Copies of this chain bind each other. A is one copy, B any other.
Amino acid sequence: MPRVVDHDERRRTLALAACAVIARSGLAGATMRDVAAEAGCTTGMVSHYFADKDQLLVAALGAATSAVAQRITRTAAERPGDLVAVLAESLPLDDVRRREWRVWTAFWGAAVGNPALAREHAARYARWRGGLATVLAEEPWAGAVHEDAAETVMTAVDGIGLHAVFEPQLWPAERQLAHLNRVVEALKR
């Protein structure tokens, strides 16, 4: 009987390897060979699944986004009503989340002047916006929230994350959380 190849599993493994390599070396510095070495497979295997660097980048971004979404779902279930805890899952508070953030930042840079990547970004943000609007509507203080609350939170998270990713020494986890907390408290007033 021929060995069954689990293509989804392999694709996921390669996407995670791409995350690690892009976070470490940046997009310009990342090569198919590095990703292969990280995944413990051949370069041919990587290029079999991903035709070019853009595809690899999108896959890496997908892996990072799935990881965030899983954590958010879990935290939302474990700590209902704790909006800051939920949002904190998408801030670069530890090594894992810093790595995801470095992939996001590399992706944004690559999306400038690249319509396909810019559409990918817009699609992901539309989902985030929708999810966040649902979470906000369930807050006990939802009535007080202005219509742009979801955007306020999203731009705050992205602003804090961007600063923290480049100046981690200025932005320890406590400071990121304090800023996020201030933004959420301001929403309630």
- Shortest distance in angstroms between A155's beta carbon and chain B's nearest beta carbon? 3
| Cβ B113 vs Cβ A26 within 8 A | yes
A189→B186 CA distance, assembly (Å): 9
- A151 proximal to B (CB < 8 A): yes
Q: Which of A39-47, A65-73, A160-168 lies on the face that meets chain B?
A: A160-168
Binds B, one of A6-14, A75-83, A103-111, A136-144: A103-111
Give 1 or 0 for each of A82-125: 1 = CB within 8 Å of chain B CB: 00000000000000000000100111111111100010011001
Complex Cα–Cα for A111 and B106 (A): 8
A56 CB within 8 Å of chain B = no
CB nearest to A176 among chain B residues: B155
Q: Is the CB of B113 within 8 A of A112?
A: no
A28 and B113 alpha carbons, distance in the complex (Å): 9
Are B159 and A155 in contact, CB atoms less than 8 angstroms apart? yes
Q: How far is the CA of A158 from the CA of B155 in the complex (A)?
A: 8
10 closest residue pairs by CB, A with B: A109-B109, A26-B113, A159-B159, A155-B159, A186-B186, A106-B112, A158-B159, A26-B112, A25-B113, A155-B160
| Residues of A in contact with B (beta carbons under 8 Å apart) | 22-30, 102, 105-114, 118, 121-122, 125, 146, 148, 151-152, 154-160, 162-163, 165-167, 175, 178-179, 182, 186, 189
Known A26-B113, A125-B166; 6 more pairs at CB < 8 Å: A30-B113, A155-B163, A156-B159, A158-B159, A158-B162, A158-B163
